[in-house]
Amino acid sequence: MLNMGMKGMKIDREEMTVVIYESADCVRDHDFRTETNTHQPLQRTGSDSVRNRISRAAAVCLVLLCVLLLTAVIVLCVHIHTKSTNYTEERDQLLTNITNLIEDRDQLLTNITNLTEERDQLLTKINNLTEERDQLRHNLQSYGGWTCYKSSFYYMPNENKSWTESRRYCRERGADLIIINNREEQDFVKNMAGSAIVYIGLTDIDVENTWKWVDNSTLTSGFSFWASGEPNGGRRENCVVTVAVATVPAWGDRVGWLDVDCNIPFKLICEKSISQLTLP
């Protein structure tokens, strides 16, 4: 009986040990699951935060990129608009310039046309005047030996007369004693006169030392061809001759203009302009 009781108690203790171990295992399993359950949500919460931050950063970057893109588009549009406006203004300015140049060209063409017409008219007049001059020269050469030089005709008769008679002779032929206007005409008279002493249309008969031409114009002080020491005759010598070659011993080697006694007969040269020319 005692053995049976001891066996029963041993069995009971073993069963209690098994229950205790099983309870401990249950508790450990519960604690492990609880701990596992407690740490597992914390790991999921950290991953979600990182993902959220990455998502927000991506969204911000995307927004910034959109803003930059929009800004670039706006700047590009403004730039294009400005360039287009400038190009339009330049185009309009160029068109204006082209229009002005076309007007200037047309005006120049008109001026050229007018000048061409005027030139043609002048050439026609020149041709007509040349023909008239040649005809007059021919007529004058056949009319007592008149010589044409520039715009005047000259005649030197083969006779000697006083200054007053010489002027009368010229006026009877629609001319007058020669008026010398420049060096070229003085040289022409010298060649025409040769070694002769000829009267010219210069005198101070009216007022002593006030030399005047036969057209009543006063001799210019800076323009004259007086021989050395001339004029020197005072009131006795009031008329002028021109000497190309010294042939009078009393006058020495003086050539040019000399004042002489108006009553001494010398050769003469008559002059008339084309506008004064009349033929019989």
Q: Using CA atoms, how far apart are residues 266 and 162, in angstroms rounded to an integer? A: 6
Q: What is the pTM of this model?
A: 0.52
Q: CB-based contacts of 149: which residues, under 8 Å, 6+ apart? A: 185, 188
Lowest mean pLDDT among 22-36, 44-58, 231-245: 22-36
pLDDT digits (tens, 9 = 90+) for 39-78: 444 445 667 788 888 888 888 899 999 999 999 999 988 8
CB 204 within 8 A of CB 211: yes
Q: Using CA atoms, how far apart are residues 121 and 114, in angstroms rounded to an integer? A: 10
Q: Using CA atoms, how far apart are residues 102 and 177, in angstroms rounded to an integer? A: 60
| pLDDT above 50: residue 94 | yes
| Dihedral sign of CA atoms 247, 249, 253, 258 in order | negative
Q: Using CA atoms, how far apart are residues 154 and 158, in angstroms rounded to an integer? A: 13
Q: Which pLDDT score is estimated for 2?
A: 42
First-last CA distance in the chain: 207
| pLDDT above 80: residue 249 | yes
Q: Using CA atoms, how far apart are residues 55 and 34, in angstroms rounded to an integer? A: 32
Q: Which pLDDT score is estimated for 86?
A: 84
pLDDT digits (tens, 9 = 90+) for 255-264: 999 999 999 9
Mean pLDDT across the stretch 236-244? 94
Mean pLDDT across the stretch 204-225? 89
Is pLDDT larger for residue 222 or for residue 163? 163
| pLDDT above 70: residue 36 | no
Tell me what the pLDDT averaged over the chain comes to: 82
